[in-house]
Amino acid sequence: MIRSSLLLLVGLCVSLSNLVAAEPAVAKSEILANYVKVSAALAADNLADAQTAASALAVSAGQAKNNALADQATAVAKASDISAARSSFKALSTTVEPLAAGEKAYTVMFCPMARADWVQTAGAVRNPYFGKSMLTCGSPK
């Protein structure tokens, strides 16, 4: 009886430790996916969509207990205009960039005109700092 209870307890602990270990990966993937939506919206000059995606990013970051990232995403979400959103996006990108390191689906890009980095999925350059006016300005870092 004691042995079966002990085995059950060990099994439960292993299951819980696997669940806890998997949580950061899920949070990281959500953070990166939401961040890319913010970037894409800024590249399309769409402030409303950028703010919506930034709000979702703030929630993901909060769930991951990354308060700095949540605050930066909130700054983008509350920006009064697209210029302010892009300015806040620079700090956000600096924080997100290390999360993309080693992730095959993401590329860190650099815009020499904005003197700033951003993360995007593979494909054509989509500059969030200048949007449609300089959409293809930038290169992989």
pLDDT band of residue 6 (cuts 50, 70, 90) is: very low
Tokens of 105: 């689906």
The predicted pLDDT at position 20 comes to 39
The predicted pLDDT at position 27 comes to 85
H or E stretch including 118?
strand 116-121
Residue 83 in this model has a pLDDT that exceeds 80:
yes
The predicted pLDDT at position 79 comes to 98
Instruction: Please state the domain extents for the chain.
Output: 26-140
Q: Find the angle CA(137)-CA(101)-CA(31) to the nearest 5 degrees.
A: 85
Residue 23 in this model has a pLDDT that exceeds 60:
no
pLDDT band of residue 2 (cuts 50, 70, 90) is: low
The predicted pLDDT at position 60 comes to 94
Nearest to 114 by CA among 125, 128, 124, 129: 129
